[in-house]
Structure 1
Amino acid sequence: MLFEVNRKLFSRSDRVKAVDFHPTEPWLLTGLYNGTVNIYNHETGAIVKTFEVAEVPVRCVKFIARKNWFIAGSDDFQLRVFNYNTHEKVTAFEAHPDYIRCLTVHPTASIVLTGSDDMTIKAWDWEKGWKNVQVYEGHTHYIMNLAFNPKDSNTFASACLDRTVKMWSIGATHANFTMDAHEKGVNYVDFYPGADKPYLVTCGDDKTVKVWDYLSKSCVQTMEGHTNNVSFAVFHPNLPVIVSGAEDGTVKIWNAATYRIENTLSYSLERAWCVGLRRDANEVAVGFDEGVVIVKLGRDEPTLSMDPSGKLIYTRNHDVVSGNLQTVAPAEGEVEDGKRVPLSTKEIGSTEIFATALIHSPNGRFVTVVGDGEYIIYTALAWRNKSFGNGLSFAWAPDNNTYAVLENKVKLKIYKNFRERPGTGMKGAGHWGIDGISGGTLLSARGNGFVLFWDWETGEVVRRIDVDAKEIHWSGTGSLVAITTADSFYILRFDRDAYNAKLEAGEEITDEGVEEAFDVVADVAEVVKTAKWIGDCFIYTTANNRLCYFIGAESYTVSPFDRPLYLLGYMPAHNRVYLADKDINVYSYSLSLAVVEYQTAVLRDDMDAAAEILPSIPKDQLNKVARFLESKDLKELAMSITTDPDHKFDLALQLQDLDTAHSIARTVPESEAQPKWKALGDAALSTWQFELAREAFGKAEDLSALLLLLLASGDRSGLEGLAAQAETKGQNNLAFATRFQLGDANACVDLLINTQRAPEAAMFARTYAPSQATNAVDAWKADLTSKSRSKLADSVAHPNFNTELFEEGWADSIAKEQGSAPEAVAINGRGVSEEDAEEDEEDEDES
């Protein structure tokens, strides 16, 4: 069975006796022989939480995620529960009079089972204050492991050093039945997770792993390979394998169908003790004497394929399941983007090999299953075996009757009508180490640092490109190809005419092919996970969970999503893109084919065809089309199409169509209109349309811009109205500036007095409006008196009777404000010192 084994976490620590994955967080729980419990972030490898649980070994730990707890059993006979968020100890009590070896949590009920060296199993209910609700007796030695039956959670199995495995019901104190499982003590028991087989896997100190049919109580298979006591053996929930670990320090992966060893892993961490499975990511954690390791088996992506008509086929282990998306055709507006699509499925058969790829023929009549170094071609409807052979990779040609098989890295065969095609092979195929092949207009091969394209008929090399590719996708029209890499993707255009011209000229085609055969259309720095073509539109999902499409020379985002989704295909009749998660839950997103066709026509500069397609575009997609047209500098056409008034207003300003912009601004609600009037005023001013600018600035209440405009045009009446408006709005500085520009000094003094700036009013009046000086000084004195500064108010003299006292009063007022003595500032009515004032008087006399 061919699948990758990648180590994700390697951490040395004290002896690890128990491990458990959190169901939603990226956490691994470990119980150590030194009494500590650690929680690792298995994505970063860091320890995120540590709990000093006991001074003796912790032999079993489990998450209770629905309560934000973990539970631990230790050699001091105590069962302890902690809240892993708050570090609070929820409870601790003596559960058994001897070591607690194992525990398990009921999948739905509030029950925890514990097994102990006291030879009993106990059930505890946390909803009843951790009351012991049942005791199960019958074993005659240490109880090593407990497991609930996934097919019936009211039953569970126990493994014991008395060499037996017992099956129990939760409500009964005695076992339903007992199996003599091993010649020596049994260390572990686990249920087969599927619904089709009533199997158990066990392991023991006799160094064997056994598979049992618990209905017939018969041994299905005994697997030998370990050289010491086997600590655990479990069925993998997603892959057809059994994982076992032993005190010989190795972890073995067994084929669950053939029971042969597929892989042996050794990490030099001494004895292996415990195992944990992350069911949603094919990850396995193993605890050793000297640390913990997490390995990833295979890949997370589901094995599936959908033909152009919407018939979906996927595999679940060796079972083949089919569904038809044609039957879930949504009515317009009924399906919300990102919602799960109700799809009924049925099993149509099985496949002998563990599928790593499913590939529909272009017309959907055949499906090829690739895996385990073999391929099998089935008829899609009846699921009958049509052809088979050895092969690492497989590719269909566009004619549906021709296909290529990569038997090994240097052996590539071409078949036509299910028979090997004589004579014409692919030129130079044996010279390069090929990792995989892809079908399409040309046969594509990818290797270490290169991509090769061959002509299906002649076998000639069309082009060699130096790029380290992950996948190669050909468009349905046959003119475009996408090459995806680890960090970007490239769109190339195939020019068959240039290639044929080179052939007709009789020039020799080298191993590099014809350079003119391909032109680079775009290089996009996005990581593509899955992809399909709709005509010349490239739809893909990204590594950061977005659905996008590329057309022309740009990418557009359809929608983000909150989980990894894998592209199934596009249904033109539904105008929807369909995707699935790893559990084959199907989701869909709207993408109008008319929009794609319109964009394609525009990019080809075929505006007549675009005009014909335009009426068929749904109204809710017109704004999207308008944005596209704007990006292509077709702003007039965009403005005629868009239904978004904001977008239309922006386009009108860009096109200097101020009449249209003016009419839109007048229809906008007053609460939202000011920014538009301001933008319109700026645009009108730049095109010398002063009347429109004045109206726009007025409605935008942009009084500063209006002041400049009125001053420039010498509009006195307009300035008077502006001053009044500014006062009303409390923009006193602008009102003062406007009154001053109008030469209305009296109004300026009144404004200063009314805005509690009496000292400034007095100074201003003395210079510009002497007749108002008395009022200003009176206001100043009244203001000082109201602030309990009557002494300072008395020092302010009336300017009509004693100018010197007035100046001294002004100086004293300024000094009080600035914290200085009057004599230190010695103001002479104009804000200067006595010496400076004398010099000014001399200068005045001279002048």
Structure 2
Amino acid sequence: MLLDVNRRFFQRTDRVKGVDFHPTEPWLLTGLYNGSVNIYNHETGALVRTFEVAEVPVRCVRFIPRKNWFVAGCDDFHVRVFNYNTHEKVIAFEAHPDYIRCLTVHPTASIVLTGSDDMTIRAWDWEKGWKCIQVYEGHTHYIMNIAINPKDTNTFASACLDHNVKMWSLGSSTANFTMEAHPSGVNYVEFYPGPDKPYLVTCGDDNTVKVWDYLSKSCVQTMQSHTNNVSFAVFHPNLPIIISGSEDGTVKIWNSGTYRLENTLSYALERAWCVSLRKDANEVAVGFDEGVVIIKLGRDEPTFSMDPSGKLVYTRNQEVLSANLQTLQDDVTAEGTRIPVSVKELGSTEVFPTALIHSPNGRFVTVVGDGEYIIYTALAWRNKAFGNGNSFAWAGDSNTYAVLEGKTKVRVYKSFRERGGAGMKGAGTWAIEGLHGGTLLGARGNGFVLFWDWETGEIVRRIEVDAQNVFWSGTGQLVAISTKDSFYVLRFDRDAYTSKLEEGADIGDEGVEEAFDVVAEVPESVKTAKWIGDCFIYTNSNNRLNYFVGTESYTITQFDTPLYLMGYIPAHNRVYLGDKDVNVYAYTLALSLVEYQTAVLRGDMEAAEEILPTIPKDQRNKVARFLEGRDLKELALQVATDPDQKFDLAIQLDDLDTALGIARSVPESEAESKWKALGDRALAVWRFDLARECFEKAGDLSALMLLLLSIGDRDGLSKLAHAAEEKGANNLAFATLFQLGNTKACVDLLIKTERIPEAAMFARTYSPSQVPRTVDAWRDDLVAKNRKKIAASIANPKENPELFEEGWEDALAREEAALQAAPSAAVNGEGGLDKSASSDDSEGVLVDAS
């Protein structure tokens, strides 16, 4: 089994006796022999929290995520529960009269099961104040492990040093049955997680791992390779493997179908004691004498393939399933939500698949895995051909394919028979990591991509690039080569290649340089991709679904969790994606939109105009944004249907009449920003009438005041002052009244807003006739505030005319003279400010205060 194994996390600590993954947070819980419990972020490697739980070893720990707790069993006979968010100790109680070796948390009930050296198992209910609700007796030695049956959570199994495994029901204190599992102590027991087999896996001090059918109580297989006591053995929930760890310091991986040893791992951390599986990421945590390690097994990307008609084939371990996405045409599920799909079992495959590859016509599916390939008929799932091979590639005609054997041998088959002849030129020269089908046969190696002609076997081009994948378009003209950080789109020029051959040029190992032209380099990492015509659809490392057309990339959507591209069905105008469990999701991408963009990028505007009516209306705004990005704003304005987008384009193009129509059509609550933007633009192009309407509709009184002052509109300013006062914009109202020379109104406004001292000073300077009443008002205000002495000290000009530099009567006379001399409007016709006002005494002039 070719299974990738990568170390993801490594931490040296004291002896680790218990580990557990949090189901939703990136946390690993470790219980240490020194009495501490640590929580690590296994993505960053950081120590998140540490707890001093006991002064004796902590032998077992488990998360209780429903309650934000973890529970720990210790050698002082106590169970301790902590809230891992608040560090609060929830409870501590003596659970057994001897060491607590193991515990497990029920997946649905509020129950924790504990096993001890006192030879009993006990059930504790936290909803009943951690009351012991059952004691299970029958073992005659230390209880080493407890496992709850995933098929029936009312039953559980226990492993004991008395050589036995017992099966229990939660409600009964006696065992349902007993199996003598090993000739010495049994250290671990675990259920097979799938629905199809009633199996248990056990391990013991006889250095073996055993698989049992617990219905027939018979041993299915015994696996021998460890050289010391085996501490644990578990079935992996997603992969067809069994993982075991031993006091010999190794972790071994076994094929759960053939029971063959596939891999042995050693991390030089002495004895292995405990294990935890992270089901959603194929990660395994193992605790050792000197630390803890997390290893990544396989890959998260599911194994699937979809043909152009929408027929999906995927695998779960070696089981093959299928679904027809073509039948989802009338599906009304909201975009981006999971689509219910009818799945049927197609069959099984003899190898653990690492790749599924449809032939271009969809008639065959190739399964690659375990160094072998098998070609099946897609409908009946019958074996058509098989052989040894690490990689496989179909040619464009579905009748020819290539197989990589080892690292250097490439075999080409036509009509399921190996083709004779010289083969692929130079195929044995370079170490090849993978083959890629399409117009040319691609071979990817360390630092290069090599393209061969399918028919002649000649080298077309060798390109120096450290590639991860190669994607050929269905048209055969474009190819995308993805690397770790970017991808390149190249155009294949067959005419240039054939002309070189006709000239008799010596092609050599590098091929024909003119055969490929670079179209674009895009700095994005491609995870999964498909070509639809000349449009390259792909998912990137940032969980975005993008498409590349012409020379640029555009984003369709972004998702929260990784999704993998399955394919595109033109009749649906939808891109289909799946998660790691092959749940299906869909996003809209109109093929006509892509064709339109391609025509625009080619400069073929006539073809683009013909395609435009076929684009769905809900996609027109995407077209408009695309055209705006190409600086085709006039065309974008014609295409756009979104009022906001049309308004922005109209403003940019100074098409103010169109913008005005949009602003008038939108609801008043949404129009204010549009009126302001339109008013500013109208001012810039000298359309004062439009600017005035916009500022009035927007309620932008400041801008309106400046505009009315500039055009000398006295009536408009008077109305503006009144409107500002009503809205509470007193500063603006005062400034407008002052510009009008309406000093009486200014004084009234200051008094009304309780700015009476300022009103008196203002009247003293600009309107002496208003001074007596302002002073009286000032005095009354001070008296009301119980400041009578200050009020008495304020002089009224009518009572104390000698306080003025000129007499009171002279000041009034000078004001009257000024009014009679200049009775015209306060604002002149040219927009400048005139120091005159109306002949009415209530609208006095700006009096010289000197």
* TM > 0.5 fold call: yes
1:435 pairs with 429, 433, 436, which one?
Answer: 433
Structure 1 window deviating more from structure 2 (185-194 vs 212-221): it is 212-221
The alpha carbon displacement at 1:133 in A equals 3.1
Contact 1:270-1:290 within 8 A present in 2 as well: yes
Specify the alignment match of 1:68 in structure 2: 68
Q: Distance in 2 between matches of 1:131 and 1:794?
A: 84
Specify the alignment match of 1:576 in structure 2: 574
Specify the alignment match of 2:816 in structure 1: none
Matches within 5 A, 1:633-672: 633-672=631-670
Structure 1's 221 and 532: CA in aligned 2 closer, same or farther, altered over 3 A?
A: same
Specify the alignment match of 2:114 in structure 1: 114
Q: Deviation string for 1:658-700 (max 9, x for gaps)? A: 1111222222222322222222222222222222222222322
Specify the alignment match of 1:171 in structure 2: 171
Amino acid in the other structure paired with 1:569: G
Aligned to 1:695, the other structure's residue is in SS state helix
Contact 1:395-1:404 within 8 A present in 2 as well: yes
Q: Distance in 1 between matches of 2:361 and 2:85?
A: 54
Amino acid in the other structure paired with 1:202: T
Aligned to 2:264, the other structure's residue is in SS state strand
The alpha carbon displacement at 1:190 in A equals 1.7
Amino acid in the other structure paired with 1:637: L
Structure 1's 728 and 504: CA in aligned 2 closer, same or farther, altered over 3 A?
A: farther
Q: Distance in 2 between matches of 1:573 and 1:723?
A: 63
Specify the alignment match of 2:326 in structure 1: 326
Matches within 5 A, 1:627-638: 627-638=625-636
Q: Distance in 2 between matches of 1:414 and 1:807?
A: 115
1:622 pairs with 608, 620, 623, which one?
Answer: 620
Structure 1's 763 and 137: CA in aligned 2 closer, same or farther, altered over 3 A?
A: closer
Structure 1's 385 and 695: CA in aligned 2 closer, same or farther, altered over 3 A?
A: same
Specify the alignment match of 2:143 in structure 1: 143
Q: Distance in 2 between matches of 1:515 and 1:707?
A: 70
**Structure 1: 5+ residue stretches without partners:** 809-843
Aligned to 2:146, the other structure's residue is in SS state strand
Q: Distance in 1 between matches of 2:548 and 2:444?
A: 23
Specify the alignment match of 1:385 in structure 2: 383
Structure 1's 786 and 97: CA in aligned 2 closer, same or farther, altered over 3 A?
A: closer
The alpha carbon displacement at 1:163 in A equals 1.7
Q: Distance in 2 between matches of 1:621 and 1:787?
A: 68
Specify the alignment match of 1:699 in structure 2: 697
Structure 1's 327 and 702: CA in aligned 2 closer, same or farther, altered over 3 A?
A: closer
Q: Distance in 1 between matches of 2:375 and 2:738?
A: 93
Contact 1:662-1:680 within 8 A present in 2 as well: yes
Structure 1 window deviating more from structure 2 (117-126 vs 746-755): it is 746-755
Specify the alignment match of 1:22 in structure 2: 22
Q: Distance in 2 between matches of 1:688 and 1:500?
A: 64
Structure 1 window deviating more from structure 2 (61-70 vs 316-325): it is 61-70
Specify the alignment match of 1:420 in structure 2: 418
Specify the alignment match of 1:714 in structure 2: 712
Q: Distance in 2 between matches of 1:233 and 1:394?
A: 35
Amino acid in the other structure paired with 1:719: L
Q: Distance in 1 between matches of 2:754 and 2:137?
A: 94
Q: Distance in 2 between matches of 1:140 and 1:505?
A: 89
The alpha carbon displacement at 1:249 in A equals 1.0
The alpha carbon displacement at 1:69 in A equals 2.4
Specify the alignment match of 1:271 in structure 2: 271
- 1:132 and 2:129 aligned: no
Structure 1's 737 and 71: CA in aligned 2 closer, same or farther, altered over 3 A?
A: closer
Specify the alignment match of 1:203 in structure 2: 203
Amino acid in the other structure paired with 1:256: S
Q: Distance in 2 between matches of 1:107 and 1:536?
A: 50
Q: Deviation string for 1:696-743 (max 9, x for gaps)? A: 223223333333333333334433443443344343444444444444
Specify the alignment match of 2:815 in structure 1: none
2:609 pairs with 584, 589, 611, which one?
Answer: 611
Q: Distance in 2 between matches of 1:796 and 1:104?
A: 88
Specify the alignment match of 1:252 in structure 2: 252
Specify the alignment match of 1:193 in structure 2: 193
Q: Deviation string for 1:199-254 (max 9, x for gaps)? A: 22221111122222223333222222111111111111111111111111111112
Structure 1's 211 and 651: CA in aligned 2 closer, same or farther, altered over 3 A?
A: same
The alpha carbon displacement at 1:30 in A equals 1.6
Q: Distance in 1 between matches of 2:372 and 2:197?
A: 26
Structure 1's 788 and 153: CA in aligned 2 closer, same or farther, altered over 3 A?
A: closer
Amino acid in the other structure paired with 1:8: R
Q: Deviation string for 1:332-376 (max 9, x for gaps)? A: xx2112222222222222212111111111111111111112211
Contact 1:483-1:491 within 8 A present in 2 as well: yes
1:399 pairs with 372, 397, 402, which one?
Answer: 397
Aligned to 1:187, the other structure's residue is in SS state strand
Aligned to 1:238, the other structure's residue is in SS state coil
1:493 pairs with 468, 491, 494, which one?
Answer: 491
Amino acid in the other structure paired with 1:626: A
Contact 1:796-1:806 within 8 A present in 2 as well: no
Q: Distance in 2 between matches of 1:493 and 1:15?
A: 58
Specify the alignment match of 1:358 in structure 2: 356
Q: Distance in 2 between matches of 1:695 and 1:90?
A: 68
Q: Distance in 2 between matches of 1:106 and 1:633?
A: 62
Amino acid in the other structure paired with 1:217: K
Q: Distance in 1 between matches of 2:744 and 2:66?
A: 78
Q: Distance in 2 between matches of 1:731 and 1:170?
A: 75
Specify the alignment match of 1:232 in structure 2: 232
Contact 1:797-1:803 within 8 A present in 2 as well: no
The alpha carbon displacement at 1:428 in A equals 2.9
Aligned to 2:428, the other structure's residue is in SS state helix
Specify the alignment match of 2:13 in structure 1: 13
Amino acid in the other structure paired with 2:12: R
Structure 1 window deviating more from structure 2 (500-509 vs 27-36): it is 500-509
Specify the alignment match of 2:840 in structure 1: none
Q: Distance in 2 between matches of 1:46 and 1:232?
A: 27
Contact 1:61-1:71 within 8 A present in 2 as well: yes
Amino acid in the other structure paired with 1:311: K
Amino acid in the other structure paired with 1:653: I
Amino acid in the other structure paired with 1:421: R
Aligned to 1:284, the other structure's residue is in SS state strand
Q: Deviation string for 1:474-527 (max 9, x for gaps)? A: 222222222222222233333334434444444433433333333333333333
Amino acid in the other structure paired with 1:538: F
Q: Distance in 2 between matches of 1:724 and 1:181?
A: 96
TM-score w.r.t. structure 2 length? 0.89
Aligned to 1:564, the other structure's residue is in SS state coil
Matches within 5 A, 1:803-822: 805=803
Structure 1's 110 and 748: CA in aligned 2 closer, same or farther, altered over 3 A?
A: closer
Q: Deviation string for 1:58-86 (max 9, x for gaps)? A: 22222222232222222222223333223
The alpha carbon displacement at 1:182 in A equals 1.8
Q: Distance in 2 between matches of 1:249 and 1:3?
A: 21
Structure 1's 762 and 148: CA in aligned 2 closer, same or farther, altered over 3 A?
A: closer
- 1:315 and 2:315 aligned: yes
Specify the alignment match of 1:827 in structure 2: none
The alpha carbon displacement at 1:304 in A equals 1.0
Contact 1:226-1:246 within 8 A present in 2 as well: yes
Q: Distance in 2 between matches of 1:36 and 1:767?
A: 82
Aligned to 1:429, the other structure's residue is in SS state coil
Structure 1 window deviating more from structure 2 (17-26 vs 506-515): it is 506-515
Contact 1:480-1:494 within 8 A present in 2 as well: yes
The alpha carbon displacement at 1:803 in A equals 6.8
Specify the alignment match of 1:216 in structure 2: 216
Number of aligned residue pairs: 807
Q: CA RMSD in A?
A: 2.6
Q: Distance in 2 between matches of 1:131 and 1:639?
A: 72
The alpha carbon displacement at 1:396 in A equals 1.0
Matches within 5 A, 1:27-42: 27-42=27-42
The percentage of aligned residue pairs carrying the same residue is: 77
The alpha carbon displacement at 1:45 in A equals 1.9
Q: Distance in 1 between matches of 2:510 and 2:660?
A: 61
Contact 1:328-1:342 within 8 A present in 2 as well: no
Q: Distance in 1 between matches of 2:542 and 2:565?
A: 14
**Structure 2: 5+ residue stretches without partners:** 807-847
Specify the alignment match of 1:815 in structure 2: none
Structure 1's 669 and 804: CA in aligned 2 closer, same or farther, altered over 3 A?
A: farther
Q: Deviation string for 1:293-317 (max 9, x for gaps)? A: 1111111111111111111111111
Structure 1's 316 and 746: CA in aligned 2 closer, same or farther, altered over 3 A?
A: closer
